[in-house]
Amino acid sequence: MDRPKSSEPALPYALLASACLGMFAASSSGTTRAPFLIDMARDLSTQVALVANLVAMTSIAWGIASMFAGAGSDRFGRRPFLLGGPTVLTIALIGVSQAESFLTVAAWSILAGGASGTFTGVTFAEVSARVDQSQRGRALGWVMAGQSLTLLVGVPMAAWIGSFVGWRGVNLCVASIAVAALLGLVVTTGGRPSSRRVAGTPAPSLRAAMSGPVIRLLAMGVCERVCYGLTAVYFATFLQETFALTLAAVAIPLALFAAGNILGTIAGGQIADRIPNRLRTFALSMLASGIVAIALFGWHPNVATTVALGFLYVFVTAVARPSLMAALTDVPEHIRGTVLGLNVTSASFGWLFAASLGGWMMGSYGFSGFGPLAAAFGAVGAGLAVVRR
């Protein structure tokens, strides 16, 4: 007797792997700089704080480029951005490795951020166009895992490799990963033309994309990024100040934190494709993250309990992201690139809010204020998700 065939088509795993590798390269281009701030400042004859500001410069360039690239991909097709972004990223990283002054490093870093923004949002649009609507949560979850892998694998590996080749050599290694992603995208996006406007369809525009529901989804994304960013940026400092841990001692807690983000993203993708009401899933996840945040920053009897709560917090927060991304892909095809590009832009604002608000909260009230702050943003995000369909 023949076994019934699955009604769902197979996921394009080669494309997902290439997209995941591209996201890993883009995230690593900036994040792997963290272990080398002192070495870079010494090598470039500048201050550590100035080198650390490269993160903000990269983030701004990333967000601006993503907005324009998303709109451009709806008008001219996605493949030029999918291939052009990793190409320019490779060139920029090579430029960083050869730079002899801080201003030159800053210029190449801004270009690298812009190149990353050129293809990350477009990648989500391309993947969503090549999978069935019922599979988008899983597919986008796998792509987003590339960013999480940067924390789990990229930064520790960069620190280890950098001990042999220095920060310049690490940039060349990340450039090689961008080349590998580029080659993968060349092969996997060539089977059929990427989305391009056809005659008779409405012209894509920011005005058409910025409808009320889309603005609401983008605002939800900002809330989610603030909740995640508060811990991603300050979790190591929180552990060091609360338990007087050394930098080496926080390595394992940070690895568990990154693992929770990866597992939550993958689980969130599965849930997004199995529960019809994706916005309700997002709302419940954000409310749960707020409850855990209050416990995480308000009750810390020992290191093990705090690390376990940190793992749980980032897990439930990450579950929300694939549902939100899948909801964003439900917009019409002719503006999907624009909307997903704007999503990356709004996410960059979320990161900036997390860093600035977290710094203000830490200086004014200490880490005890992080719990209520995260819970407030979680509640706002949940409220936006359920206030109307």
| 177 vs 326: which has the higher pLDDT | 177
Question: How much is the pLDDT for 1?
Answer: 38
Ranges 10-19, 34-43, 187-196: which has the least confidence: 187-196
- For residue 76, give the 3-state DSSP assignment: helix
Q: How far apart are CA 26 and CA 199, in angstroms?
A: 34
Q: Running DSSP on this structure, what letter comes out for residue 343? A: H
Question: How much is the pLDDT for 352?
Answer: 78
Q: What is the mean pLDDT of residues 285-304?
A: 95
Instruction: Determine what percent of the chain is predicted with pLDDT higher than 70.
Output: 92
Question: How much is the pLDDT for 301?
Answer: 92
Question: How much is the pLDDT for 290?
Answer: 96
Tally DSSP H helices, then E strands, for the chain.
15, 0
Write down the residue that tokens 């950098």 correspond to: 162
Which of the given ranges, 24-38, 47-61, 210-224, 281-295, has the highest pLDDT on average?
281-295
Half-sphere exposure of 9 (CA within 13 A, CB side): 9
Q: Say whether 203-389 and 12-194 share the same fold.
A: yes
Residue 193's pLDDT band (cuts 50, 70, 90): very low
Q: What is the mean pLDDT of residues 217-241?
A: 87
Tell me the average pLDDT of the chain. Answer: 86
- What pLDDT, in 10s, does the model give residues 84-97? 999 999 999 999 99
Q: How far apart are CA 347 and CA 26, in angstroms?
A: 15
What are the structural domain ranges in the chain? 12-194, 203-389
Half-sphere exposure of 87 (CA within 13 A, CB side): 9
Ranges 28-32, 125-129, 304-308, 379-383: which has the least confidence: 28-32
CB atoms inside a 10 Å sphere around CB 203:
10
Reply yes or no on domain 203-389 having CATH 1.20.1250.20. Answer: yes
- What pLDDT, in 10s, does the model give residues 341-364? 888 888 888 877 887 788 888 888
| Residues whose CB is less than 8 angstroms from the CB of residue 305 and which lie 6 or more positions away in sequence, other chains included | 299
Q: What are the angstrom distances between the C-alpha of 385 and each of 106, 229, 330, 379?
A: 38, 20, 15, 10
Residue 388's pLDDT band (cuts 50, 70, 90): low
- What pLDDT, in 10s, does the model give residues 149-172? 877 777 778 878 888 888 999 999
Over 80: is that where the pLDDT of 205 sits?
no
Question: How much is the pLDDT for 380?
Answer: 96
Q: How far apart are CA 257 and CA 312, in angstroms?
A: 9
DSSP code per residue over 252-320? HHHHHHHHHHHHHHHHHHHHHHHSS-HHHHHHHHHHHHHHHHHHHHH--SSHHHHHHHHHHHHHHHHHH
Q: What is the mean pLDDT of residues 218-238?
A: 87
- For residue 198, give the 3-state DSSP assignment: coil
Question: How much is the pLDDT for 200?
Answer: 52
> Which CATH number is associated with domain 12-194?
1.20.1250.20
